[in-house]
Structure 1
Amino acid sequence: MESWLKISLLLCTFGFLRELRPSEPFVTEYLAGDWRNLTSEQVYQEVYPFGTYSVLSQLVIVFLITDLVRYKPVIVLSAIAGILMFIILIWTKTILWLQIAQIFYGTFTAAEVAYYTYMYAKVDKERYQVVTGHTRAAILSGKFLGGLLAQILVSTDSLNFRQLHFLSLSTQLISLPVALILPQVPRSLYFYAAKQAPMIENGTQTPKESENGEQLAKFSLKNAGQLLWFHLVSSYTNPVVLQWSVWWALATCGQVQVISYIQFLWKEVAPDHLSTYNGGVEALATLLGAIGAFVAGFLNSNKRRSTYMLINSICAALLGGLLIWSSYSSNVWVTYVIYVIFSAIFFFIITVAGAIVAENLVEDSFGLVFGINMLVALILQTILTIIVVEPNTGYGLGPRDQYLVYGSYFKIATSANI
């Protein structure tokens, strides 16, 4: 077996275990259930916003540290954060401890950038498309199996919602030694770059190499700053990149908010306020979302950007309508079906947008641009959380009213280009 394939399989094993968290579909039922003396309102108003703020505050720092320490330490940190998060969720009961758990959730989520960028620093460019497929397949497989396993265990009364968290803790514990045996990366994109910042030669920008023709790969703070600035300016002065990045950030903000609070809507609508089919729904949503992204990957969307902007915006307006329907529905199965349709359509249109952005970027700026786009999305999500969810600074809306707002957001914000 070739070296790059061994590394890819090892990293994908970590990614699969990282996402194999059967507790996720029922975490709201657990936190607002019989194991704690907390209401749903306390959980979504006093606990979940901490997760949003934690991811936002850590994303930029983690992105730069990831490049500085060359990926592997951040992957290990991700595993440790996941372990600590589930330990707190299982063995503590107060709101304060749940808020602390959300800090580790922020680390766990922000550190995902290391998983996706590790392979690009470790394998040759001709393998990028293959390893991208591997890493995303591992993530989706873990999510799908986690949801399916959770549904089987809950439906057969084999495990309760709290016991599912022990399974999630186990997968995080197993992922840690996998992360530890990942090979070190000798270079990174910025601080240990193989190329120096581009120089102007005969009107074109070219990377500077060492005198013997070999690419440089040593620590340089100055070169890192120059590369970061070059990638930033060259990317966002491109009107195509800027337009689609704005659309991508707006859409991602809405989607993250929808999936963050969807379990509260299910619990609100479900008979006896107990939603027991979340696992199967999450598994199906992951599967159809993967199919949507897979189909979008075959489209030559960059050559018909105006057409696909129209399609994406119409689809976003449709998603807004579906979310508004959910907010008024009194049938939990309707909200389940709408969520599955939402996932399938969203991952199709977001893949189209991501592909167009990627195809118009300068070489090696992919990670920076999508990191900045995600940062913008999280800033928007934070503003939305403060206004919609927080009772002290905003309106403190209940689940139904929240999804009325999210539906309106999708119809207005991401369909503005129609």
Structure 2
Amino acid sequence: MNDVFSQQVGHIMWGISAASDIGSYSYVYGKFEKDQYKKITSWTRAAAMAGRTGGYIFAQLLILTHIGNYMTLNQMNLYILCIALVFCFLLPRVSWKQVVNNIAIEQSKKQAQKSHSPLPTSFSEYVLYRLKKLKSDFIKVYSNPFILKWSLWWAMAICMSYQVSLYAQTLLGQVQVGDDNPLNGFADAIYTFVATVFILLTNRFPINWDKWGETVLVVTSLLDAVFLALFSQTNSVYLMYFCYIFYRSCYQVMVTIAQWNIA
């Protein structure tokens, strides 16, 4: 297997893994009522960031101590993913009846709405119910300027983040020519740790995102642009680390905020 093909296969697998993120959050949201989405989103994303922090630190120490190499990390990654897949099958199922029950609870809270469509009583009715709701929900959701704003920002931000994460490693590699012990793993560990802390903090403050959402998005995006420009022009690896940590931390926090606003 040649190197290019290996990279292509790796990126395909990574793409599948990234896409499954939607399924994991759908599973989580299916287990809880809507008024708990903000807390659940914050804690699950914070947990993911904390896990990444530990992984980055472990990987960096493994390389620095020469206990293993990058092939070792790839092999460990494969084994851990296989174990995670087994755990996925062991998770409790989310019954369609539970989803219907959550819908019923949500409808009962909307006292102003006079009538509701009848809820399904069988799985086949549930499937038809969800299919019929797709069009109406699509129109309802994306005719809402608030949700549309956060959705567009999220879509653009995630594409930019993927590009930056790949571009950053290449650019760091050019500056680190001759450095046998780069500290890129520690930089990733720091940004995930910072993101974890701020994700948990934002969950504790009742912020009116209808009022402050656009301001936060504009200010954050401008700061990101400034730090990315600085990141691309400097030859100081430590300044590059700082810019990278700032950008990636802001991205993770803002995506969490966008996710719970959309959910």
Q: State yes or no: 1:279 paired with 2:185.
A: yes
Number of equivalent positions: 255
**Residue 263 of structure 1: aligned partner:** 169
CA contact (8 A) 2:63 2:70 kept: yes
Alignment equivalent of 2:152, drawn from 239, 246, 271: 246
CA contact (8 A) 1:270 1:331 kept: no
**Residue 315 of structure 1: aligned partner:** 220
Aligned letter for 2:251? F
Question: Structure 1 residues 120, 318: CA separation in 2 closer, same or farther (over 3 Å shift)?
Answer: closer
Q: State yes or no: 1:168 paired with 2:73.
A: no
Q: State yes or no: 1:297 paired with 2:184.
A: no
Alignment equivalent of 2:140, drawn from 218, 234, 258: 234
- TM-score, normalised by the number of residues in structure 2: 0.83
**Residue 347 of structure 1: aligned partner:** 252
* Offset, 1:254: 1.7
| Counterpart Cα distance in 2 of 1:347 and 1:137 | 9
* Offset, 1:307: 3.4
| Counterpart Cα distance in 2 of 1:307 and 1:138 | 26
**Residue 208 of structure 1: aligned partner:** 118
* Offset, 1:127: 5.9
| Counterpart Cα distance in 1 of 2:257 and 2:13 | 32
**Residue 155 of structure 1: aligned partner:** 64
- TM-score, normalised by the number of residues in structure 1: 0.54
CA contact (8 A) 1:323 1:338 kept: yes
Q: Percent identity?
A: 24
User: Residues 179-237 of structure 1, C-alpha deviation per residue, up to 9 Å, x if partnerless?
Assistant: 22223332189xx85669x9xxx97552413xxxxx63513453222211121111111
Runs of 4+ in 1 over 6 A off after TM superposition: none
Q: State yes or no: 1:324 paired with 2:233.
A: no
Question: Structure 1 residues 113, 284: CA separation in 2 closer, same or farther (over 3 Å shift)?
Answer: same
Alignment equivalent of 1:186, drawn from 81, 84, 95: 95
User: Residues 68-100 of structure 1, C-alpha deviation per residue, up to 9 Å, x if partnerless?
Assistant: xxxxxxxxxxxxxxxxxxxxxxxx434234323
* Offset, 1:273: 6.5
**Residue 101 of structure 1: aligned partner:** 10
- RMSD in angstroms over aligned alpha carbons? 2.9
Aligned letter for 1:116? Y
- Relative contact order, higher structure (CA 8 A, sep 6+): 2
CA contact (8 A) 2:191 2:245 kept: yes
CA contact (8 A) 1:151 1:277 kept: yes
SS, match of residue 301 in structure 1: coil
Question: Which runs of no fewer than 5 residues in structure 1 stay unpaired?
Answer: 1-91, 210-214, 359-365, 367-418
| Counterpart Cα distance in 1 of 2:172 and 2:205 | 34
Q: State yes or no: 1:219 paired with 2:219.
A: no
| Counterpart Cα distance in 2 of 1:203 and 1:149 | 53
| Counterpart Cα distance in 1 of 2:84 and 2:153 | 35
SS, match of residue 235 in structure 2: coil
Alignment equivalent of 1:122, drawn from 17, 26, 31: 31
Question: Which runs of no fewer than 5 residues in structure 2 stay unpaired?
Answer: none
Instruction: Please state which structure has a larger fraction of its residues in helix.
Output: 2
